[in-house]
Structure 1
Amino acid sequence: MDYRYRGFYGTAYRHALPAVAPLAQSGVPETVIGWNWLRALSALAADRRRLAAGKALAQEGKITAVYVEPGTITAFLSTHIPFGQRVQIHVPLLGEPKWSQLSSLARSRAHVLADRSAQDALAEIIKIGESRSLYLLPELTDIETWCDCRSRKGICDHASAALHHFARCLDVEPFTLLLLNGRSGADFFAGVDDPEHRSLQPNYHPPTLPEHRTDAFEVYSRWMFNTPPPLPPLPRAPGPLIPDGLPAGTDPAARLLAAGAADRAADILRAALRSPGRPLTDATQQLTPRRDRERLASLPEAPASAAEPSS
């Protein structure tokens, strides 16, 4: 696993892309952003040959999950290997000064971006950036890949399939391209609206998301490569209703009252389990003093003093 951007875990800067339909048999994405992504990667004839190697895997739907964080695409493929194939694709990031420049350029076109769809707005942002040599779409020569297959080729079939599949992901969530270049869509547009937004300040780090998130690959690694902790001890067998905590020499009448209270508590709990919607009630509260003395006298080993009315 690449730990360069570990600080983005649990923030909006590490995003799990939703499941999308595989690449069509024509090999062409459905929107202009996905098409521009593949066109930029295959600008040269040699790049087109290398990129076409994994198109069949993308068309067969072999990609099972895709995660995006600044500068990195992590994809998982279903292959003949028991636990699948993992591939990471690294692209160059747009530096903070360039993000500030791009936000300033887009600010003059904010009224145009507000009226357009996500696809058209991102296409306009790409066009604005290219006019000042700020490129959001990488070329194949800018990309570095790592794959479990340990292929000696620069771009293996699995990495090529992941690049094709990411084009389909851009059809669904186009602003993921901004995140891949180092800025989430929310922070970018906040910087367009506000020149003093914190995302435009040096050494900006996104706030942590409120909900807890656990990386599935880390959980699997802990289970696979570490000794599991010992099981907790078995609970003790339930003892008598009256614990042995009463001090020695306790008056027998007091022990009798404690036993009666424990029995009533057990009856109340059993009634609550049988009828969860009904409130807890103690039947002994409805007894008269005389009937309560008779109830105590009927308990086993009841001392005579407990059954006699007090003078």
Structure 2
Amino acid sequence: MTNARGFAAFPPQRAGARFATSWWGRAWIQALEDTSLDHVLLRKGRAYAKHGRLGPITVSPGRIAAVAESEYDTVVRVEQLTDAAWERFLDQVAAKAGHIAALLDRDMPHDLVEAAEDAAVPLLPAVGDLEPECSCPDWGHPCKHAAALCYQASWLLDADPFVLLLMRGRGEGDLIEALQGRDVPAPAPSGVPAAQAYAVGVPPLPDPPPYDVSYAPPALGAASDAGVDVAALAILASSAAARARELLLRGHLPELTEYQDRVRLAADHDLGPRLGLEAAVQAWRYGGADALDVLDRAWTPPRRDLARAQALLEAGWEGEDPPRPQTWRNRWTLGPLQLRYGRDGRWYPYALRDGEWWPAGPPERDPSALIT
């Protein structure tokens, strides 16, 4: 096939190596794990992928393939898009110049995938969309070899989203050629025609406000004469300026409770010890409001999330016996280390300090990355 692409076999990975880091790569793994009927085989597949037990990978329309352990032919099939679906997808790509630039920069924009889904074009696989086949005697669905192939494919997807599009039926060259032949829609008209604007003429400027040469704004220290805590006022002014800048850069700000905002201020101005918020400030600096929620509240996660985390923990363990944590709700304790699962889907590390658990680092989606 002219559209087939070959990739060299992955070598054994370092301890703690992670699979997909891009959001579309994680969606690929999610489809695999939600389809799997056996978490033990998934764990073996992760170990096979990390230990480099597969040969070179070939990606072509509708399939990815590799030879496992030098003897088993392993294939994972993906449904190809129809010609009509490809036309709708190309319409969505061409509708926004940023989509083309992002794809060429090896990025897959969220809004492009959402627009494609609205046009009935499923780019990312869902539960049951991956069809594994293998010549090994294992009856698992998928077997450990097919699971390993999918996990390694997530690395390919991270590096190049055109790999996903090739699986769906068309390679990068075909897509670029098809896009070059399309007209990008003209932007919707806005404002008024220039001739009409010039015909209005230049209206007179309003009179300037009165200017008092003797006026000077009061110094911040003058506020103390009115009984205002000048130090606190300076902190609030600095915080307001920082939040305004963040609002300009991001276009929005998360809504905070009074307690969360107090912790944020304490973290920004090193006031944790003074206000008795040392642990809260440390949690905030590692993960903001989500980390603060993990510090303050225990909750019971869905069983599927905990089962997937246990499988990741075992797959990432390099020794003979994987760790067996003491579990209570969203808190897993492994000796001097505790992992807490947040509502944001990430695991937060905690360490013992003077007999209490303290935030110990930034969160990870893969709990094994925190113990290796």
More moved, 18-27 vs 175-184? 18-27
Instruction: Write the deviation string for residues 26-76 of structure 1: whole angstroms up to 9, x where unpaired.
Output: 543233332222123334685867644411111111122100111011112
CA shift at 1:112, angstroms?
4.2
Of 47, 54, 58 in structure 2, the residue corresponding to residue 63 of structure 1 is 54
Q: Which moved more, 1:46-55 or 1:141-150?
A: 46-55
Aligned to 1:185: 172
Shift of 1:105: 1.4
Q: For 1:69-218, what aligned pairs fall within 5 Å after superposition? A: 69-77=60-68, 79=69, 83-114=70-101, 118-121=105-108, 123-195=110-182
Q: Provide the C-alpha distance between the structure 1 equivalents of 2:40 and 2:119, rounded to a whole number of angstroms.
A: 30
> Are 1:55 and 1:161, in contact at CA under 8 Å, matched by a contact in 2?
yes
Distance 1:62 1:134 in 2: 34
1:17 partnered with 2:4: no
Letter in 1 for 2:160: E
Structure 1 counterpart of 2:29: 38
- Do the aligned partners of 2:9 and 2:54 also contact (CA within 8 Å) in 1? no
Residue 115 of structure 1: CA displacement? Answer: 5.5
In structure 2, relative to structure 1, the CA distance for the partners of 1:21 and 1:136 (3 Å cut) is farther
Distance change >3 Å, CA 48–CA 117, structure 1 → 2: farther
The whole-number CA distance in structure 1 between the counterparts of 2:39 and 2:113 is 22
- Residue 178 to residue 32, structure 1, CA distance change in 2 (3 Å): same
Judged with a 3 Å threshold, the aligned counterparts in structure 2 of structure 1 residues 132 and 115 are, in CA distance, closer, same or farther, namely closer
- Structure 2 unaligned spans of 5+: 184-372
Given that residues 19 and 65 in structure 1 are in contact (C-alpha distance below 8 angstroms), is that contact kept between their aligned partners in structure 2?
yes
Query: 1:132 Cα shift?
Result: 2.4
Change (3 A) 1:55 1:115: closer
What is the Cα deviation at residue 124 of structure 1?
4.9
Task: Give the direction of change, closer, same or farther, for the CA distance of 1:20–1:158 in structure 2 (3 Å limit).
Answer: closer
Would you say the 8 A contact 1:89–1:146 is kept in 2? yes
Deviations 1:3-34 (A, max 9, x none): xxxxx2xx1x1110244455663543233332
1:97 deviates by 0.4
Q: Which has the higher contact order (CA 8 A, sep 6+)?
A: 1
| Cα 1:109/1:56, change in 2 over 3 Å | same
- Please, which runs of 5 or more residues in structure 1 have no aligned partner? 1-7, 197-311
Residue 34 of structure 1 aligns to which amino acid in structure 2? G
TM-score when normalising by structure 2: 0.44
Amino acid at match of 1:96: D
Shift of 1:120: 2.2
Tell me what 1:28 maps to. Answer: 19
Distance 1:44 1:152 in 2: 15
- 1:263-311: CA deviations, max 9, x gaps? xxxxxxxxxxxxxxxxxxxxxxxxxxxxxxxxxxxxxxxxxxxxxxxxx
SS in 1 for 2:75: strand
Alignment of 1:146-295 (within 5 A): 146-195=133-182
Amino acid at match of 1:63: L
Q: Secondary structure at the match of 2:46?
A: helix
- What's 1:263 paired with? none
Asked if 1 retains the 8 angstrom alpha-carbon contact of 2:48 and 2:145, the reply is: yes
- Shift of the 43–146 alpha-carbon distance from structure 1 to 2, 3 Å rule, reads closer
Is this contact kept in 2: 1:72–1:180, CA < 8 A?
yes
Answer yes or no: is the 8 Å Cα contact 1:22–1:165 preserved in 2: no
Residue 68 of structure 1 aligns to a residue whose secondary structure is strand
